[in-house]
A and B are shown apart, each in its own frame.
Chain A
Amino acid sequence: MAYTFQPIAVALFLVITAITLGISFWAAKQVKTASHYFVAGGGVKWLVNGIAFAGDYLSAASFLGIAGMIAFFGFDGFLYSIGFLAGWIVALLIVAEPLRRCGKYTFCDALLFRLEDKGVRLAGAVSTLIVSLFYLIPQIVGAGSIVQPLLGLSYEVGVVLVGALVITIVATAGMVSTTYVQFIKGFLLLIAAVALTGGVLWATGLGPVDFISNILDNPTLTTPSGVMDGNAFLAPGIKFKNPLDFLSLALALILGTAALPHVLIRYYTVPTPADARRSTVIAIAAIGVFYILTLFLGLGAMHFMTVDPANQNLSAPLLAEFIGGEIFFGLISSIAFATILGTVSGLIMAAAGAISHDIWTVYLGNTQDDAQTLRMTKITAIGVGIAAIILGIVAKGMNVAFLVGLAFAIAASANLPALISVLFWKGTTARGVSLGIWTGLLSSCGLILIGPTIMGAGAIFPLANPGIVSIPLSFIVTFGVSMLEK
C-alpha cells in the first residue's frame, strides 16, 4: 500500500511524543540512586502501578498485533487475547506476593533470595537478557510499521527513530519515567480501544452480539485470508493448521506472563506485597476489558477491509482512519507509538539491569558505588537499544503478536520453573535451578531456530511455538536435578 504525508496526524504525533519525552526529563530529576533508577525507589502507588502494568503489557503486540491477527485469522488471533490475559491469573495468585517479599531489583534477586550461587545468577541474567530481546523485537517492528503510514518514512527510519527516542528516555530517567509514561499511556490506550470499538459498531449499525452473529452467519465471508464460511473463520484452524500449535501457544501464553522480567521488576516498585497484589488486580481489570475490545477491532478491520496485505500490524490504525479520518488515525497511531516507547523502555531497563547489576557487578565482582552502577547501567541500556534496532530491522514484516508469543514461550520455559521451585519448594538446589534455566532457554530458542518461523516449509520441528516441549522439559530438569541432589 502507498501512504501519503498527513500533516494533522504528524502534528498529533509530535505533540504526544513531546509529552512523553517531557515526562521523561521531568522524572530524570528524581533519580538519585540505583534504587530510584531500577524500581522508582519502591514508592509508586498501587493504582498508578496497576495502570502502568497494563501500559507495559498492552504493548504493540496487543494493540497492533492481535487486531491484525484477528483481522487475518479470526479466532486463532483471539486466542492471543485469551491467553495473554489468562497468564495474569498465574501472576496474581501464585507469584505476585511471594516475589515481592523476597526480591530487590531483578528477576535474579528473586531467584537468589534463598540460594546464593553465581551460576544461578549468570543463568538468570542471560535468560532475562534473551527474553527481553525477544520481546523487544516485536515492539521495534511495531514502531517501524506505524511510522510508515504516519510520517511517510521508511520502515528502517522508523525503527531507528524509536530506538533513538527510547535510548534517550532510558538513559535519563529509568523506572520513574517509565512508570508515569506507562500510566498515562495505559489510560489513553483503553480510551482509544473503547472509541474504536464504538466506531466499529456505529459504522455497522449493529450491536456487539449482532455484529459477531452476522459474521458467523455469512457462508461466503470475504477476509484478508480469502473467502470462507464465517463460522470457520471464528473457529480454530485458520492460522494453526497443526492443532498442537494451538495447544503449545495456549500453554506458553498462560505460563509466560508471570515469567516476563519487565513485568516481574514492576512488583518491586510498590511499597508492600499487598500493594503488589492490588496493582495486579487493577492491571487484570484494565487488560481484560482491553482484550475483549480487541475482538471488535480485529473483526472491524476485517469487515471494512482496512488491512495492508503486506503488514498485518497496521489493521487497527487503518481502521481508525476509516472510521474517524486523519485526526483519529493520528491519535490512535500516536498512542500506539507512545505505547511502544514505554514498553521498550521497560524492557531495556530489565535487560540493562541484568547485565550491569547481575553480570558486571555481582557475577564478575566489580565493586561500584551507586553513581558508577548508574553510569554502567545507562551505557548498557544504550548497547541493548542499538541491538534492538538491528534486530527490529531484520524482523521486518512479521506479526508482532506472533513474535511476542515466542518471547512468552522462552520466558515460560527458562524462568517460570526456576521461579516456582525457588519460591515454593525447600528442596530446590542451585544446580537444579541453573540447569533448568539453561535447559528452558536453549531448548526453546533451539526449537524456534529449527521450526517453521525460521526454516519455513523445511522445518525440522513442526510447531511454530516451542512451549509444549520446552516448558515441561525445563520443569523436569529443575525438579529432577534438585531431587537427585538431595
Chain B
Amino acid sequence: MTKEKPDDIMAVPEKDKKTFRMGLILFTVYIIGYFLFTIAGTFNKNILMTRVLGLNVGIVGGMLIIVSAIIIAVYYNWYAGQVETGVN
C-alpha cells in the first residue's frame, strides 16, 4: 500500500536551490569532460597514446580528471558557504 506524502515535503529553501543550480553547472562540465575522455578511450585509443608534456594524453587526462574533481569540490563548498552566509 502506498501512502504519498504532501508535495511540500520536497520544498527546498531558496538558498539551497541556488547552491544546487551551481552544483548542476559544475556537474555538467565535469561529466562532459569525463565522458569525452571515456569515449576517446573506447573508440579511438590512439588519442590517449598521443605524447604530451613527456607523458601521454591518457595519463595527463586521467590526472586532470582527478585534480579537477578536487578543485570543483573546493569551489563548490566555498560557493555554498558564501550563499549560506548571504554574501552571494
Contact = CB atoms under 8 A, between A and B. Distances in A.
Interface of A: 75, 78-79, 81-82, 85-86, 88-90, 92-94, 97-98, 101-102, 113-119, 209-210, 212-213, 216, 231-232, 234-237, 243-244, 246-247, 250-251, 254, 273-274, 277-278, 280-281, 284-285, 288-289, 291-292, 295, 426, 429-431
A225 B81 CA distance: 49
A247 B4 contact: no
Contacts of B41: 79, 236, 243, 246-247, 250
Interface residues of B, number: 51
Contact of A235 (B3, B43, B58): B58
Contacts of A254: 31, 34
Contacts of A292: 63, 66-67
Interface in B55-88: 55-56, 58-59, 62-63, 65-67, 69-70, 72-74, 76-77, 80-81, 84
Interface of B: 1-5, 7, 9-10, 12, 16, 19-20, 23-24, 26-27, 30-31, 34-35, 37-39, 41-43, 45, 48-49, 51, 53-56, 58-59, 62-63, 65-67, 69-70, 72-74, 76-77, 80-81, 84
B80 A234 contact: no
14 contacts: A79-B41, A82-B62, A93-B27, A93-B76, A98-B12, A235-B58, A236-B42, A236-B45, A250-B35, A250-B42, A274-B81, A281-B77, A292-B67, A430-B2
Contacts, number: 157
B31 to A, nearest CB: 8
A295 B24 contact: no
Residue with the highest number of chain B CB atoms closer than 10 Å, among A235, A236, A237, A274: A235
Contact of A284 (B7, B54, B73): B73
Nearest to A86: B34
Contact of A93 (B24, B34, B81): B24
Contact of B1 (A117, A277, A295): A117
B60 to A, nearest CB: 10
Given A94-B24, A212-B55, A274-B84, 12 more contacts: A94-B23, A97-B20, A98-B20, A114-B9, A116-B2, A116-B5, A212-B54, A231-B51, A237-B45, A281-B76, A426-B7, A426-B10
